[in-house]
């Protein structure tokens, strides 16, 4: 395996802002960062994968674009979202939110996606994985964000038509360990959660897409039935012999696209099933969708892809 390519793809994320309004009481919906009391997560299950070296600040939350975001996560958790038993079909998806490995867009790219999957009878498991430390003070965090975003992005948090930021290599050992622990827990409790482990896949957004791909390329314990990297990096990779089918989505005006089709070509040349949707617009961080964007139809295409490939039926072998 070409470790350089793997490292580049796994680190496709630079800091980005999410942009979908979270269903909640009336709150500020602008791009400013607002303090947020940590929400209750009664169903979150600790994964027991340890802490983060050099992490002194406690986990904290903020709101941006109306969306709840967690940062300084040092204790990984998995939150099950189970469909109505009458509609459950046994398929399951690990959902990995994004946030540049410095925060997690828990609403836009986590809970809302899980609930949408439940509507199709699919069990969803939101992975709150460990992150790179950020300043404890929200003011210092704002300063860090301002430095990281200037001058590439506009008021929407979407970088303009400039050269894509560099993609530094990252150590994703913590995040991979968290993903592997989540996968193992779902296997261990599959009967309880009515999950067919032969139809267990993973979908990730932005940094979560990077983690999804990193897990696919590097894990020795995960055997995913399918993957869905959503607006992740597009660099070419060395595809494992047992690579799963892939559904990939990105917008043409996403700074991570930049005219690159490498990972799609890699899957195609490896003769592994791949479906790719390049949307005219949507920018980065659109989650399930933003108003008046062509990318808003991706989730329907994804569930149709799952259905056509028999992942929503018990006969599928993965």
| pLDDT (average), residues 142-155 | 60
Quote the pLDDT of residue 7: 40
Q: Residue 145 — pLDDT band, cuts 50, 70, 90?
A: confident
Quote the pLDDT of residue 315: 66
CB 275 within 8 A of CB 305: yes
Q: What is the CATH number of domain 3-308?
A: 3.40.50.1820
Query: DSSP E strands: which ranges in 83-226?
Result: 92-96, 103-105, 123-128, 200-205
The model's pLDDT over 83-100, given as tens digits with 9 standing for 90+, comes to: 999 999 999 999 999 999
DSSP per position, 190-241: HHHHT--GGGEEEEEETHHHHHHHHHHHH-SS---S-EEEES---------T
CA atoms within 13 A on the CB side of 271: 1
Q: Provide the token pair at 305.
A: 């892809």
Q: Residue 15 — pLDDT band, cuts 50, 70, 90?
A: very low
Listed in sequence order, the residues at least 6 apart from 115 whose beta carbon sits closer than 8 Å to its beta carbon are 81, 124
**Could you give the percent of the chain with pLDDT greater than 90?**
74
CA atoms within 13 A on the CB side of 270: 20
pLDDT of residue 17 exceeding 70, the answer is: no
The model's pLDDT over 263-283, given as tens digits with 9 standing for 90+, comes to: 999 999 999 999 999 999 888
* Paired sense of beta strands 67-71 and 103-105, if any: antiparallel
pLDDT of residue 317 exceeding 50, the answer is: no
**Number of residues that make up the chain:** 318
The model's pLDDT over 181-225, given as tens digits with 9 standing for 90+, comes to: 999 999 999 999 999 999 999 999 999 999 999 999 999 999 999
| pLDDT (average), residues 113-119 | 98
Q: Where are the domains of the chain?
A: 3-308
> Nearest-CA neighbor of 13 among 86, 105, 94?
105
CB 41 within 8 A of CB 79: yes
> In angstroms, how far is CA 297 from the centroid of its own chain?
18
pLDDT of residue 19 exceeding 60, the answer is: no
Quote the pLDDT of residue 29: 54
| pLDDT (average), residues 288-317 | 89
Q: Residue 300 — pLDDT band, cuts 50, 70, 90?
A: very high
What angle in degrees, to the nearest 10, is found between the helix axes of 173-188 and 207-218? 70
Q: Residue 290 — pLDDT band, cuts 50, 70, 90?
A: confident
Q: Provide the token pair at 163.
A: 């050269």
Query: How much is the mean pLDDT over the chain?
Result: 86
């Amino acid at each position: 395996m070409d470790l350089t390519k793997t490292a580049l793809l796994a680190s496709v994320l630079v800091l980005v802002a999410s942009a979908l309004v979270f269903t909640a009481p009336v709150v500020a919906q602008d791009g400013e960062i607002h303090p947020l009391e940590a929400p209750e997560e009664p169903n979150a299950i600790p994964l027991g994968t340890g802490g983060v070296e050099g992490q002194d600040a406690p986990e904290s939350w903020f709101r941006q674009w109306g969306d709840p975001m967690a940062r300084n996560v040092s204790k990984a958790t998995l939150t099950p979202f189970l469909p109505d038993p009458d509609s459950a079909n046994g398929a399951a998806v690990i959902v990995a939110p994004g946030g540049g490995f410095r925060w997690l867009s828990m609403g836009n790219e986590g809970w809302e996606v899980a609930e949408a999957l439940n509507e199709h009878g699919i069990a969803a498991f939101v992975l709150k994985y460990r992150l790179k430390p950020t300043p404890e003070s929200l003011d210092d965090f704002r300063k860090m964000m301002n430095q990281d975003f200037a001058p590439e992005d506009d008021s929407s948090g979407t970088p303009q038509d400039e050269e894509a930021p560099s993609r530094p290599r990252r150590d994703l050992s913590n995040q991979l360990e968290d993903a592997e622990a989540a996968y193992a827990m779902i296997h261990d409790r599959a009967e309880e959660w009515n999950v067919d482990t032969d139809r267990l896949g993973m979908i990730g957004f932005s940094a979560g897409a990077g983690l999804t791909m990193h897990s696919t390329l590097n894990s020795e314990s995960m055997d995913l039935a399918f993957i869905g990297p959503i607006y992740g990096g597009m660099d070419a990779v060395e595809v494992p012999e047992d690579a799963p089918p892939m559904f990939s989505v990105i917008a043409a005006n996403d700074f991570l696209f930049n005219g690159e089709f490498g990972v799609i070509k890699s899957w195609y040349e490896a003769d592994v099933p791949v479906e790719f949707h390049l949307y005219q617009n949507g920018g980065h961080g659109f989650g399930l969708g933003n108003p008046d964007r062509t990318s808003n139809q991706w989730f329907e295409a994804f569930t149709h892809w799952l259905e056509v490939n028999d992942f929503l039926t018990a006969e599928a072998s993965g």
